[in-house]
Amino acid sequence: MVSRVIPVDSFDLVIFGGTGDLARRKILPGLFRRYASGQMPDEGRIIGAARSDMTCDEFRTMVKEAVEEFDPKSAKDTENLEKFLERVFYVAVDAKGDGGWKELGDLLRPDMIRAFYFSVAPSLFGTIAERLKTFELADDDARIVVEKPFGKDLETARALNKSLAEHFHEGQIYRIDHYLGKETVQNLMAVRFGNMLFEPLWNSQYVDHIQITVAETVGVGGRGSYYDTSGAMRDMVQNHLMQLLCLIAMEPPAKFDPDAVRDEKLKVIRALDPVEPHHIVRGQYSASEKCASYREDVENPRSFTESFVAMRCEISNWRWAGTPFYMRTGKRLKARTSEIAVVFKDAPHSIFGAEAGVHRNVLTIRLQPNEGMTLGVTIKEPGPGGMRLVDVPLDMTFAEALGPDAEEVPDAYERLIMDVIRGNQTLFMRGDEVEAAWAWTDPIINGWTNRNDVPKPYDTGSAGPDDALMLMHRDGRRWREIKE
């Protein structure tokens, strides 16, 4: 099976913050891969816009080095890389002042799709949006792409939405959550809504519980000062984990169109119960022989910010009442892995007797590493040893089906940028969704602040604090092992 590449229409894509970390690591190498695959048309152009004074040639050299550093495999295609660089331009723009805007306008071509990627600090979103209009660079068809974090609470998210809405209508605003661009996340929708097999079982009558785990092995790295004002709840749960929860829990939309999908996700967020304090555990990693502690990493010996959070959530609607959703995420954990596990209930009665043991079907949706899905099915252990049961995985990993092409599955960022050019907002968060997510997380975070809650220490390389294990044990359940 060969995946088809359908070229998008010609475009001018301006990347504000084109010299920054995100642009160099993800956006520019991703665009090069889309060019090399034939999806970015020859008439497509990328214009870096940032504070640094540099020429187009210097920017092209930077882009080349970024591709070589962050995607050495693709960079070997030097012929395409050179052609791609011819489509790259640069203009020095001061987001807060008037310098460079006219020059940027001169570079933009009429009658092309225009997209503006705000890969800059969120404090600049409003001023860039305003200047795009003042300098008449964006009409009602232009698109703007904004990065996370989208606010730090409901109030700031509302203010940000308001400042963007003064210049752009909702249909022009693409709020990125790169988890939504992952192949498996979309595959989850295909599996749920493209098959008869799962949907009848997708409810509290058949599903015992759901686990969502996003585990990292790294610490806060160079982002210490930002992270310490954020923590795992704001940095990961409010956006990525909640988006995954929505896709698992939502009702089938009437159509696969942006607003129909996002309406259903919003209903899930609004149906989430407040989380009781005893249903949530916060942690902070301790020092190990090789690694510093969280507090050392963020250079704040009295920090109460969490680098780990685990919680039990409930969704109050007909489909899910009685089925808990357990979510956890953290840094410096045992392995780097992101997965969703849908754990089905036991068969109501075992005809095979106690010796057969307890077996459960688990549908595992793995986001990284090795994106794919596996369904655990109970079968008879082969051989003459009587009726012993064993769980075997039914592998739905597309690598198997697509063969060598599976390696070419686009990275989340590339897919999302192509969706921006196509004008498809399905995999982007709508303003009301983001606000609803903050409305749910704010009371949890405020509760910690008001109680001076101190996160529990946990060992680097562990599965988080022991209390997180207890959160499940109390319910007679256990977390899945964190492993690659």
**Of the candidate residues 40, 62, 91, 120, the single one contacting ligand NAD (CB under 6 A):** 120
Q: Which is nearer to ligand NAD, 200 or 222 (CB)?
A: 222
CB atoms within 10 A of CB 67: 24
Smallest gap, in angstroms, from Cβ of residue 42 to ligand NAD?
26
Stretch that binds ligand NAD, among 12-20, 104-112, 362-370, 373-381 (CB under 6 A): 12-20
**Of the candidate residues 11, 13, 14, 19, the single one contacting ligand NAD (CB under 6 A):** 19
Stretch that binds ligand NAD, among 49-57, 194-202, 300-308, 426-434 (CB under 6 A): 49-57
Stretch that binds ligand NAD, among 116-124, 167-175, 185-193, 382-390 (CB under 6 A): 116-124
Q: Which is nearer to ligand NAD, 17 or 330 (CB)?
A: 17
Smallest gap, in angstroms, from Cβ of residue 22 to ligand NAD?
3
**Of the candidate residues 14, 54, 91, 93, the single one contacting ligand NAD (CB under 6 A):** 93
**Of the candidate residues 21, 57, 86, 141, the single one contacting ligand NAD (CB under 6 A):** 21
- Round to whole Å and give the CA distance between 299 and 290: 17
Smallest gap, in angstroms, from Cβ of residue 63 to ligand NAD?
12
* C-beta nearest to ligand NAD: residue: 20
Contact between 123 and ligand NAD by CB under 6 A: the answer reads no
Total chain residues near ligand NAD (CB under 6 A): 22
Contact between 460 and ligand NAD by CB under 6 A: the answer reads no
Touching ligand NAD, residues 132-161 (CB under 6 A): 147-149
Contact between 329 and ligand NAD by CB under 6 A: the answer reads no
Q: Which H, E and C letters describe the chain, residue by residue?
A: CCCCCCCCCCEEEEEECCCCHHHHHHHHHHHHHHHHHCCCCCCCEEEEEECCCCCHHHHHHHHHHHHHHHCHHHHCCHHHHHHHHCCEEEEECCCCCCCCHHHHHHHCCCCCEEEEEECCCHHHHHHHHHHHHHCCCCCCCCEEEECCCCCCCHHHHHHHHHHHHCCCCHHHEEECCHHHHCHHHHHHHHHHHHCCCCHHHCCCCCEEEEEEEEECCCCCHHHHHHHHCCHHHHHHHHHHHHHHHHHHHCCCCCCCCHHHHHHHHHHHHHHECCCCHHHEEEEEECCCCCCCCHHHHCCCCCCCCCCEEEEEECECCCCCCCCCEEEEEECCECCCEEEEEEEECCCCCCCCCHHHCCCCCEEEEEEECCCEEEEEEEEECCCCCCCCEEEEEEECCHHHHHHHHHHHCCCHHHHHHHHHHHCCCCCCECHHHHHHHHHHHHHHHHHHHHHCCCCEEECCCECCCHHHHHHHHCCCCCCCCCCC
Contact between 69 and ligand NAD by CB under 6 A: the answer reads no
Stretch that binds ligand NAD, among 67-75, 94-102, 315-323, 410-418 (CB under 6 A): 94-102
473 an active-site residue?
Answer: no
**Of the candidate residues 8, 13, 22, 261, the single one contacting ligand NAD (CB under 6 A):** 22
Contact between 224 and ligand NAD by CB under 6 A: the answer reads no
Q: Which of 167, 178, 209, 240 is flagged as catalytic?
A: 240
**Of the candidate residues 3, 38, 43, 52, the single one contacting ligand NAD (CB under 6 A):** 52
Q: Which is nearer to ligand NAD, 51 or 295 (CB)?
A: 51
Contact between 243 and ligand NAD by CB under 6 A: the answer reads no
Q: Which residues are catalytic?
A: 240
List of residues contacting ligand NAD (CB under 6 A): 16-23, 50-52, 93-96, 119-122, 147-149
